[in-house]
Amino acid sequence: MTGALAVLTADVARITERLFLTVGDRRRNLTAFWVLLVLAGVIAAAGVVADSTATVIGAMIVAPLMTPILGTALALVLADRRQLATNIALVIGAAAAVILIGFVIGLTVPRPPRGSASPPSPAPISTSPSATRRSTTLCSSSTAAWRTHRRTLRSR
């Protein structure tokens, strides 16, 4: 058949190295994954606390969770049971970690007084920055520094 696309062994090797975090430099890949995931979790939790949709969306962009999700799909296609189990474990572990981060950060937020109809509105940005804004800024700038320092992790 003319014009058919062929997948070469080199293509599969390149794709598996990008999507399987345990292939290649395992320690470096997993360290980058967990550092970015924790930073994204803090950014997302701070965005929820601050009622900032843009911050939550920014956290989704920072989060490296797409790599093990795509790795799971690739493991299915390649019928690689070990990588399938590894990537599913990474996705479940990452989801649990982010939920735990959100829970812990949620415990630090002061509750509205009993009997109040609605929580107090957030302070305008022009006033002194809250702990939520400071943590969001710190994690966002840390993420930028991490990615700049590790240019090889463009999509992770």
pTM: 0.74
Res. 90 pLDDT band, cuts 50 70 90: very high
* Cα–Cα distance, 41 to 95 (Å, whole number): 9
Res. 2 pLDDT band, cuts 50 70 90: low
Q: Pick from 45, 80, 75: which is nearest to 62 by CA?
A: 45
Residues 46-58 pLDDT 10s? 888 888 888 888 8
Residues 145-156 pLDDT 10s? 766 666 544 444
Q: What is the mean pLDDT of the chain?
A: 81
* Cα–Cα distance, 65 to 60 (Å, whole number): 9
Residues 99-152 pLDDT 10s? 999 999 888 877 777 766 655 555 444 445 576 677 777 777 777 776 666 654
Q: Pick from 58, 82, 70, 74: which is nearest to 139 by CA?
A: 58
* Cα–Cα distance, 22 to 85 (Å, whole number): 12
Query: Which one has a higher pLDDT value, 120 or 74?
Result: 74
Res. 81 pLDDT band, cuts 50 70 90: very high
pLDDT at residue 156 in the model:
44
Q: Where are the domains of the chain?
A: 16-108+131-153
- Kindly report which listed range (5-9, 44-48, 83-87, 133-137) carries the lowest average pLDDT score: 133-137
